[in-house]
Structure 1
């Protein structure tokens, strides 16, 4: 992998916080706000981090494990580590190559990449990058368009559908409202039609063009019957993202979902939501292995990944840090972030006396 740009404005990038700081310096203020912001008072973002930091693991000693291996499977995909690059909209805001470079970085890192429905390149172009790709979708009012996207994803070689379940409407993201945020002309919802392009580019004071578009395009009445409908229209594995209540996880498993993602949308939806890591154990207890369970929201380090594994998660979704890497140096920057995560996870497992991801799931978890 090429080293990311190392200009005079920064030293060596040795942790993800270094990449975050540099991205914040380089991005236009309103783009940074779009990426970094949360809903309401943004307290859920802080709560995600605080809850993760309170999770303490009990390392094992003298196990003779040697240097840990991080590889394994996520759904039916081989992965170099139990990490999936999360779906995130409009990645050309961060770099001209956007989703293409993010997918290339994921391919090089050996982890699945989730193509967002609101990608700024067509899903077919992103899938052509290679590697393991999944496709993310929202519940569109237009079920014909939704089913067309499913067929396109199947034809393009996507290996799973990630259905976002926690956006009946978009949460009020105050930074975007204050900025009157709209997409620049160079960034479009490439998988959708001209109506979406017009809506997301129309700037009005005190409104978010992205939120305005979602309000007209997304279906707030979607329910479990829609999950059953989707299950009847595709053989791809279904991953329901945005699950926090154990009852919803059980229902997902009953309807044939292969996995759920315990997520509060990175603090971007309900402004009073429980931290994802706090919601994880009850969900795992409820599903009793009937489907895989992943963690999303607030994950920043290899230690965070191990915290999720020690609770029993199959893996994690990794979001904003990949965008920070894109902003810093495209594929190389996103690749650096994933390399750092891999290094940190291998070290965390090794220091805890684990030889593998499976051994990490046997660690004892204690509150701080």
Structure 2
């Protein structure tokens, strides 16, 4: 039986409703680009399987007549222990693109992370207001990488999130089979000048046996990102520095030694190394290795308030939410993205109260099985 469409965002009862609706309105190749993973997508699937395996030991006989969801992320208050994950090319799914999702994040009181591969320039997004973080891919043109950081600082971004798990794009077979290319109206708005600009049109040229986006990023991204690059970045900026894509506890410890303020435990949503450990499975060891010396966030596979609770119980300060924002954006623009975050807030409040927690801080004391 065919799944019913989503007539209005308000009718969604879970984030999966937005997923089904987005699949029905997006072109098949765009849907594959948004939802797919690398290889045979075993890590993509493992993220969900592992999250579902985490069982929370709820507490009882606690006063939960008033449950609050506010949290501190990188030293600033947020209405939820959630930030919008960096995602490329929002205009692929809706003409308003990052403008709409940034406005939704502002309304929800959560940070919005603008990607290096945003289809809207950094400076235009920060004008929306709210808390904006900038995600940096390290480019072959080192000076351009550093210039992006300076632009982010000048524009008013509140943190730099360096993605460390993409020396090149993983083999995303859906995109290869579709010979995926960006439509003409969608561009990497932040790297369309200078040397990277020369490769920018590569993402729009159809290839016989490859994803044009993968070809473009292969030309633009540096496979030579190392700890020395992190050191250089730490010296350059006084903003909080976050490393996204950390799975090994040894790497988390090294990050602390170099003055990093937070790490994001992430396998890139199953889009890089197929066969990588599920993010939630890697989280406890990273939390133990960090020992409270920096914040730890979880990314990859979060699909509801219970997932946020699971991450908090395992020691995370919060989570990054990715694909569901694009589902909402595809379905109803800004209103759809706002509905996703509103629903997540309701789910988290429910999960906290039913587990015997009146706050995000209380969730850190829960046990899991």
- What residue is the counterpart of 2:290 in the other structure? 287
Aligned to 2:171: 172
Q: Write the deviation string for residues 186-230 of structure 1: whole angstroms up to 9, x where unpaired.
A: 000101123243111111122111110111111111110110011
Q: Say whether 1:232 aligns with 2:231.
A: no
Aligned-pair distance for 1:112?
0.2
Relative to structure 1, the CA distance from residue 11 to residue 255 in structure 2 (aligned partners, 3 Å threshold; closer, same or farther) is closer
Matched, 1:347 2:350: yes
TM-score by length of 1: 0.96
Q: Does 1:217 align with 2:220?
A: yes
Aligned pairs for 1:76-225 within 5 A: 76-193=75-192, 194-225=197-228
For the residue of structure 2 that corresponds to 1:129, the secondary structure is coil
Q: Kindly state the Cα deviation for residue 11 of structure 1 after the two structures are TM-superposed.
A: 9.2
CA contact (8 A) 1:178 1:205 kept: no
Check conservation: 1:134, 1:158, Cα contact below 8 A: yes
Per the normalisation by structure 2, the TM-score is: 0.96
Q: Does the 8 Å CA contact 1:67/1:346 hold for their aligned counterparts?
A: no
Q: How many residues align?
A: 361
CA distance in structure 2 between the partners assigned to 1:190 and 1:179 by the alignment: 24
What CA distance in whole angstroms lies between the structure 1 residues aligned with 2:6 and 2:263?
Answer: 39
Q: Distance in 1 between matches of 2:199 and 2:154?
A: 23
Query: CA RMSD of the aligned region, Å?
Result: 1.3
Q: Tell me how far 1:67 sits from its aligned partner.
A: 3.0
Structure 2 counterpart of 1:331: 334
Equivalent residue for 2:367, pick from 350, 364, 367? 364
Where 2:320 maps in the other structure, the secondary structure is strand
Partner of 1:272: 275
Unmatched 5+ stretches in structure 2:
none
Alpha-carbon spacing, 1:36–1:61, altered in 2? closer, same or farther (3 Å):
same
Structure 1 residue 50 displacement after superposition? 0.5
What are the Cα deviations for residues 236-285 of structure 1, in whole angstroms up to 9, with x where unaligned? 11000000000000001110110000000000000010000000000011
- 1:247 corresponds to which of 241, 245, 250: 250
Aligned twin of 2:264: 261
Give every structure 1 segment of 4 or more consecutive aligned residues whose post-TM-superposition deviation is greater than 6 Å.
none
Q: Is the 8 A contact 2:10 2:339 kept in 1?
A: no
DSSP 3-state at the match of 1:329:
helix
Quick check: 2:69–2:81 contact (8 Å CA) kept in 1? yes
Q: How does 1:37-52 map to 2 (within 5 A)?
A: 37-52=36-51
Cα displacement (A) at 1:7: 3.8
2:309 counterpart SS class: helix
Gaps of at least 5 residues in structure 1 are none
Match of 2:302? 299
Return the alpha-carbon distance in structure 2 between the equivalents of residues 81 and 121 of structure 1: 25
Aligned partner of 1:65 in structure 2 is 64
Segment drifting more, 62-71 vs 235-244: 62-71
CA 1:274 to 1:6, structure 2 compared with 1: closer, same or farther past 3 Å? closer
Who is 2:18 aligned against? 19
**Stretch of structure 1 that moved more, 169-178 or 12-21:** 12-21
Q: CA deviation at 1:353?
A: 1.1
- The verdict on how the C-alpha distance between 1:330 and 1:222 changes in structure 2, with shifts beyond 3 A counting, is same
Alpha-carbon offset, residue 65 of structure 1: 2.8
Structure 2 distance, partners of 1:148, 1:65, is: 48
Q: How far 1:6 moved relative to its partner?
A: 6.2
Per-residue CA shift, 1:17-76, capped at 9, x if unaligned? 111000000000000000000000001111110100010011111112323100021012
- Preserved CA contact (<8 Å) 1:179 1:206: no
CA distance in 2: counterparts of 1:52 and 1:20, whole angstroms: 18
